[in-house]
Amino acid sequence: MPGAHQKPATAARMYDYYLGGIHNFPADQEAAKVVLSKSPLLPAIARSNRAFLGRAVNYLTSAGVRQFLDLGSGIPTEGNVHEIAQAAIPNARVVYVDIDPEAVSESLDLLEGNEFATAIRADVREPQAILTHSQVRKLLDFDQPVAVLLVAVLHFVEDTDEARDIVATLRSKLAPGSHVVIAHATVDEIVFDEEHAQYWKRSQEVYRRQTTTPLTPRTKSDVARLFDGLEMVEPGLTWVNQWRPDPDTADDFKDNPHLSSFYVGMGRVL
């Protein structure tokens, strides 16, 4: 356990560690190494999620979406939402939201001088507070399409009904043409592989014991219900590496997509 003067581990900084980043502290490294000893595929899973995020943003800009609300955005790393979106649409607007003050601070440093992007500290479990936040309202116009990105964050909400309510609250404020993007951890199919099932079980124990954000993987049917009221964008709800894959990008899970352990999808507001 971290000492009295040591920053406690957070999911955002552990994710940064999995991606090979430098914005993490000893407590994050300690917890991440324990998880990696039990779930050695996590760096590949993190890379696959990051690649999916990039593909999703590219799709959205091609569809004309100019506004992005990235919840649980984490520590800035290569391929940030604003970089991808503004490469296609220079005045694309992006608000990053994270509960970790270090993630927000690093994001604000990165965004200095960028008038079309900012970062705020807030809890995804309080969606109404996010929607009414002064910085969010200043930068995003909810009378126009907005893309809400919930990539690798809702599995840190323990209660499934609460997770659905979060998405429903966000969706209720979105104009037609808006989109909701979700990437969510699962143990589907892995239950038939006892070794990987045990990896995930032990990983959950580490997150519960050493961070303030317990990990709660969900089934495909539970993740599908998060998209209630939305029109799914093709190819629907899939394994992370199978959503509009880039043939020029290496695929760690090409032969065993279920080992990616993530379902992803995008829904459109009609």
Asked if residue 172 is part of any domain, the answer here is: yes
| Number of structural domains in the chain | 1
Distance CA 200, CA 67 (A): 35
- Residue 150 within any structural domain of the chain: yes
Query: What values do phi and psi take at 262, rounded to 5?
Result: -135, 130
Asked if residue 170 belongs to a domain, the reply is: yes
Q: Is residue 35 scored above 90 in pLDDT?
A: no
Q: Compute the distance between CA of residue 252 and CA of residue 269 in angstroms, rounded to an integer.
A: 32
> Is 270's pLDDT higher than 80?
yes
Tell me, yes or no, whether 193 lies in a domain: yes
Q: Which of 26-30, 34-38, 144-148, 215-219 has the lowest mean pLDDT?
A: 34-38
The answer to the question of residue 235 being in a domain is yes
Distance CA 128, CA 270 (A): 21
3-state SS assignment for residue 101: helix
pLDDT per residue as tens digits for the range 71-120: 999 887 778 999 999 999 999 999 999 998 988 998 999 999 999 999 99
pLDDT digits (tens, 9 = 90+) for 143-195: 999 999 999 999 999 999 999 999 999 999 999 999 999 999 987 765 445 66
Query: What pLDDT is recorded for position 56?
Result: 98
Residue 99 domain-assigned (yes or no)? yes
CATH of the domain at 141: 3.40.50.150
240: in domain = yes
> CA 188 to CA 258: how far, in whole Å?
8
Write out the residue range of the structural domain in which residue 168 sits.
11-244+257-268
Residue 33 covered by a domain: yes
Alpha-carbon distances of 246 from 92, 242, 250, rounded to whole Å: 23, 9, 8
Give pLDDT tens digits for 198-219: 666 666 566 665 555 678 889 9
